[in-house]
Amino acid sequence: MRTHLSRRGLRLASALVAAGLSLSLAPLARAVDDSGSAMRLSSTEAEALAAHAALDPYEGAAADDTVAPESDRSPEAAADGGAGAEQGTGPAGASTAAVDPTTKVTMTAKSTLEAKTRAPGSGRRMLRAHPVTADTGPEPAAGHFLALAVVRCVQGRYAAGAEAARHALTAARKVPGTRGQGLTARAFALQAASLGLAGRLDQARAAGDQALAPAEAYGDPTLLGSVLSTLRENARRAGRLHEAVRIGNRALALAEQSGDPVAAAFELANLAELRLLLEEPEPALALAERAVSGAEAHDAWCLPHALATMARVRVLRGETEQAAAFVDRAEEVATALGDRQAEHEARTARVELALSARRPHDALRALDGHADDAPVLAAWAELLSGRPGTAQRLARAEVARAERTGERLAEVEARIALGTSLTLLARAPEGASELARAESSADSLPYPAGTRRASWARGLLDGPTRR
């Protein structure tokens, strides 16, 4: 049993790829010497480096809750409750303090590198020490704010990341020509990923759509691939699974064309998940094997996601021991990375494994403190533990949320849990209605995994476990 989509809906990993966090670091590494210290660049070199950092389409950001309105307060100040506010503000209200632009831009590049190499705290401190000022050109300013968005994304501070992405877009719109197109595409992709994480799907879809044209105009296959990754995830969340597969295949081809094996591994993992949703276990297995192999070979940030996907494939195939081994590895790697969303992926894979083995108490232990992030899984764990009332409340709230945000797959899954819970509460007509609605939606999308889930639920209601 699985929901496939958490309360957040869009995995942070999707945001990372959509916005750009897995490109080769070679261009940025030129700004850092072997000891990790910042190197001095000329003004021209610094501007060029920061522009490249800003256009690097595998950095990333995400948003949570409410994004602050346009203001003169910097994302640094907004994120840190005023700490560092005296050091400079965003493009709309830049400080006049004299800061060496060469040092500032070099540190932006290094902070991006730090975020990409799993040291977000260090990168954040550099950015705070070297803020954007009135002397900063639009391209390096965009680089600064995109780097800040990367750091916030890795730290899980989504509202602050969205604020940084918004400032990046403001700066990007001041850059002419194809470079400006690339910057604009990056900024919109960051917004799309951010808003998706916040559950604001309509706005996420709009931002993703706006990213596509400038990305195509810029012509870089990796940037275009990152935008397509956003669009693929939006299609998936809306239940357009075959469209999502087509977009994902195009994104994979672009990742391979650009020579980025990490991005390719991530796209392979996502395609494997899509095949699971379409009830195609053999193609899912082949894709997951390629994803794990590629991620392992490059010690990639997406390795825990690939491992969790492989675990889910094994669960579907009834290979419990193999699934457990992949979950263990996914948890270990996610913890080492300090990636909250990767930890969530591993955790939910463990819950799904426990539920498939009819061990609801193990599922509840794994969800302890995290039930809000996976409400349908929590509902099934409660229901199978003999608490259909609690399950009904969780499922009903998730139905309402999914309806509001347009997450069709999540809505189907929540309705199945709701209908089952209502039936076990002796409210059979209501339960039958909800199950029928879920089955109708699953058939019309189509969503084969949802159809199978509804059939499983009906069997549960007719079986000996009914209370």
Query: What is the pLDDT tens value at each position of the chain, 467 positions in all?
Result: 444 333 333 343 343 433 343 332 222 333 333 333 333 334 343 333 333 333 333 333 333 333 333 333 444 444 443 333 333 334 333 333 333 333 333 334 443 444 444 455 566 677 777 788 999 999 989 888 877 777 776 666 677 777 888 889 999 999 999 999 888 888 888 887 777 766 677 777 888 899 999 999 999 888 899 899 989 988 998 999 999 999 999 999 999 988 999 999 999 999 999 999 999 999 999 999 999 999 999 999 999 999 999 999 999 999 999 999 999 999 999 999 888 889 999 999 999 999 999 999 999 999 999 999 999 999 999 999 999 999 999 999 999 999 998 899 999 999 999 999 999 999 999 999 999 999 999 999 999 999 999 999 999 998 754 54
> Measured between alpha carbons, how far is 232 from 146 in angstroms, rounded to an integer?
22
- φ/ψ region of 19 (left if φ > 0, alpha if ψ in -120 to 50, else beta) reads alpha
Q: Cis check for the bond before 446: say yes or no (omega within 30 of 0).
A: yes
**Across the chain, how many H-helices and E-strands are there?**
23, 0
Collapsed DSSP state (helix, strand, coil) of residue 344: helix
What pLDDT sits at residue 230?
86
What pLDDT sits at residue 156?
64
pTM: 0.74
Question: Would the CA dihedral through 310, 316, 318, 320 be positive or negative?
Answer: positive
What pLDDT sits at residue 6?
38
> Measured between alpha carbons, how far is 76 from 122 in angstroms, rounded to an integer?
14
Using CA atoms of 84, 86, 88, 90 in order, give the dihedral in degrees to the nearest 10: 80
Alpha helices in 317-447, H assignment, sequence order: 320-337, 340-356, 360-367, 375-384, 388-405, 408-424, 428-444
Which amino acid is it at 304?
P
What pLDDT sits at residue 409?
97
| Residue 48 CB-density burial (10 A; 0-12 exposed, 13-18 middle, 19+ buried) | middle
Collapsed DSSP state (helix, strand, coil) of residue 95: strand
Q: Residue 117, Cβ neighbours under 10 Å: how many?
A: 15
> Measured between alpha carbons, how far is 275 from 242 in angstroms, rounded to an integer?
9
Phi, psi of 95 (to 5 degrees): -70, 155
